[in-house]
Amino acid sequence: MKKLTASIATLFLTVSLTNITFCQEVKNGVEVLQKMYERYEGKWYKNFTFTQETIFYGQNEEVVRTQVWYEAMALPGQLAIKFDTKDSGNGILFKNGMQYGYANGQQIQKMQRVHDLLVLGFDVYHQRIDSTANQLTQNGYDLEKVYMDEWQGRGVYVVGVHKADATKPQFWIDAERLVFVRNITIGRGGIIQEVQFNNYEKLGEGWVAPEVIFKANGQIGLLERYSEMDIPLELNMDIFNPEKFTKTEW
């Protein structure tokens, strides 16, 4: 029994250390982005649709409500979200650095916004490295700083800081799979915001994290669970047209 226990412990240690060895020395965050792009260039899916169970939590981490969101992506730079039904007049559209909001079939919001989770989780595999770097720099990440750490038992690159420091913007990249797993940003009033992409699974020649967790000062505020995931060869591009968004479904 002692030999068996020792063998199992050795196996787990070997697997952990094997992953951590993927953390090859890099000089800066741009080199990490380059690794991500080069690994999946021409392979990562371009279109992605899914249904999302969206769970909202209160201050005591109790569930206060749930909602179904329907989402479609055309990469890079386009994400459509409809609330409750696919023909809903309520939702959000992200398109090439702009965010549009809709309520009751009317556009009620238009503002500049680079969605860093869209960039880090998906766009990075489809656009020029300097474009990704510029977008992330505009969002407050210092790409000159990077160090190697461990997250959920796997080796990661941490870009934005030189050492563990939860007070500065940073993003974490799985060193073996070269996918985004976590970020930390600073919100209004100094709130430390954290997002996790969890439980990665293969999707086509790329990956997807069907669980996404949002935290504020360590407390969960939002949980997303994906289902009905598909990577269609084509999508109706009217989905991503701000003028046609509310009248188009997929």
Calpha distance 155→123 (Å, rounded) = 22
Calpha distance 66→208 (Å, rounded) = 22
Q: Structure tokens of 121?
A: 């989780």
List of the chain residues with pLDDT < 70: 1-23
Could you tell me the maximum CA-CA distance found in the chain, to the nearest angstrom? Answer: 68
Cβ count near 132 (within 10 Å)? 24
Phi, psi of 118 (to 5 degrees): -65, -40
Res 148: pLDDT: 97
Res 15: pLDDT: 46
Report the residue count for the chain: 250
Calpha distance 98→46 (Å, rounded) = 19
HEC string for 111-132: EECCCHHHHHHCHHHCCCHHHH
> What is the pTM (predicted TM-score) of this model?
0.90
CA distances from 150 to 16, 105, 198 (A): 9, 45, 14
CATH class of 23-247: mainly beta
77-103 confidence digits (pLDDT tens) = 999 999 999 999 999 999 999 999 999
Res 21: pLDDT: 58
101-126 confidence digits (pLDDT tens) = 999 999 999 999 999 999 999 999 99
